[in-house]
Chain A
């Protein structure tokens, strides 16, 4: 073995890289992004869960529990007036509703009536959005801590009101996220590779000399990858159902409709990104730019509330955040898509934004 030849090969490879500025930029950005996201994205603590609190008793005891909940960073507590429908509150965005009924305090103290323990106890009502089991666990733990603070657990029964009629397991809430992730991966990244390949092979030139419109090109990709996304989603649901006894609480039709909407947006994203890559290796190196934020910041592996506040604005810029939210609402909560307006609006804005921009930039990416 000749050290000189080995050195020559190594230097040649590095020199080749030096001539590709985009490649150098991507090679520097990807590890930096990976380290920052992996390092900061999961704090381990869930923070800022939206909790609605209805205190119908209004005593020193309930105030003490309310203050304890307010001082817990897990929650962002909003006190509301009585006579509000808890289910509507959950649909409006709260993740839990706690209600202290009238006579909560008197029943609490009746437990120790005349120095003798009785059957009496205070009952706290809890309505819980169980579509994310990790958040549900954090809420239960936070309430238990608040009750411990006032009386070492005391004679309080927490009465949970199941909202969606089923117990949601981790796999049930994870399946929609897997669907969203697969759609992101397949539609955006395969579109990116495929369009870059059109540029590299010169077929783009032939296409634009033929009577093909930009919109027709993108729609063609949308149909092809939309079908692929549908087949893959059906596979995920089928395997989930057969192997993991997945509970799909909502309509499969609406779930697949949402998958198609999200797939269209991702085809737009792939086409848009293709304007930034001139070679297939540049395109492949762009994969982590799509995959890392989708996995780490979208609420797929851990809830958004577990992402540090400093990174949360970034999380709201990740399309899969809205895709997850919409698919979970449809599949786990059993809601129609329009009952999850934030998720639906996010997916639609993503779709329109990427498809319009991709259409505008597509022609510009023909080699000059």
Chain B
């Protein structure tokens, strides 16, 4: 099966700062791949390159079998992107936001209406559908933002810090959604700096200083650290272990 995302030796600098310093990454279909790392690790820059929003300085990026950004147009309607900012039209209602992003992705009005009802139900936002986005709470905005990325049923979902700022109960709910999406055949690439969330991904890449320092399934990474340190390490301990190894 063809990989959903293939990145080889990707490099991106902003002036003297090398935000992504030679990343290799393969995300298979039906995966939930988590890019985990502290702020400034290069996660957002990497996924913006994957979405074709930034041109790489070196390396190769292929998404759904197409080189990016060269063939970005062939991928756009098949990709759903949720940026770090909530990226909503605050002066549009919940359903108007969804209508706009549905139309942008080439959906017909009838289909948008049907899908909006489904997705609002899925996100538990139905009762708020006529409310302006600016009047929603932080968690509701976050759910609407995710709904906008999901509306057109993209094969690949790229989510930048989708759970940041959410309370633990809502984060739990989001992760339930992510696994349901995966079960429905979607591929998810997401970033997070919550280390405990890494354990919920099918595979995790620990990113630091523009590089992926370690990669694997959470159980596999834990086992690697346990072989050295013993015990049952948490994802935080796993990350710290790889970070200190890099330091040496």
Are both chains from one complex?
yes
Which of B101-109, B216-224, B236-244 makes up part of the contact surface?
B101-109
Report whether B85 and A211 are in contact in the complex, using a CB–CB cutoff of 8 Å.
Answer: no
**Shortest CB distance A346–B (Å):** 35
Chain A positions within 8 Å of B, measured between CB atoms, are 201-203, 205-212, 366, 368
Which of B72-80, B175-183, B202-210 makes up part of the contact surface?
B72-80
Confirm or deny: B26 has a beta carbon within 8 angstroms of a beta carbon on chain A.
no
For B104, list chain A residues within 8 Å (CB): 207, 210-212
CA distance A297 to B218 in the complex (A): 68
13 contacts between A and B (CB under 8 A): A202-B85, A203-B88, A203-B89, A205-B83, A205-B85, A206-B81, A206-B82, A206-B83, A206-B149, A208-B52, A209-B83, A210-B105, A211-B106
CA distance A141 to B22 in the complex (A): 78
Residues of B in contact (CB 8 Å), total 27
Confirm or deny: B86 has a beta carbon within 8 angstroms of a beta carbon on chain A.
yes
In the complex formed, the residue of A with least CB distance to B48 is A205
In the complex formed, the residue of A with least CB distance to B133 is A201
CA distance A212 to B105 in the complex (A): 8
CA distance A210 to B79 in the complex (A): 8
User: Lowest 9 CB-CB distances: which A-B pairs, in order?
Assistant: A202-B85, A202-B87, A209-B81, A211-B76, A205-B83, A210-B104, A206-B87, A209-B51, A202-B83
Known: A201-B90, A368-B54. A206 touches B101 (CB 8 A): yes
Chain B positions within 8 Å of A, measured between CB atoms, are 14, 48, 51-54, 73, 76-77, 79, 81-90, 101, 104-106, 148-149, 158
**Shortest CB distance B132–A (Å):** 13
Interface Cβ pair total, 8 Å cutoff:
54
Which of B53, B77, B87, B158 interacts with A203 by CB under 8 Å? B87
Which of B53, B76, B105 interacts with A205 by CB under 8 Å? B53
Report whether B86 and A202 are in contact in the complex, using a CB–CB cutoff of 8 Å.
Answer: yes
Report whether A206 and B148 are in contact in the complex, using a CB–CB cutoff of 8 Å.
Answer: yes
Which of B52, B85, B88, B90 interacts with A209 by CB under 8 Å? B52
**Shortest CB distance B216–A (Å):** 28
CA distance A368 to B87 in the complex (A): 16
In the complex formed, the residue of B with least CB distance to A213 is B73
Known: A201-B89, A206-B101. A211 touches B77 (CB 8 A): yes
In the complex formed, the residue of A with least CB distance to B85 is A202
In the complex formed, the residue of A with least CB distance to B50 is A209
For B87, list chain A residues within 8 Å (CB): 201-203, 205-206
For A209, list chain B residues within 8 Å (CB): 51-53, 76, 79, 81, 83, 158
For B76, list chain A residues within 8 Å (CB): 209-211
CA distance A304 to B48 in the complex (A): 50
For B101, list chain A residues within 8 Å (CB): 206, 210
CA distance A354 to B148 in the complex (A): 32
In the complex formed, the residue of B with least CB distance to A211 is B76
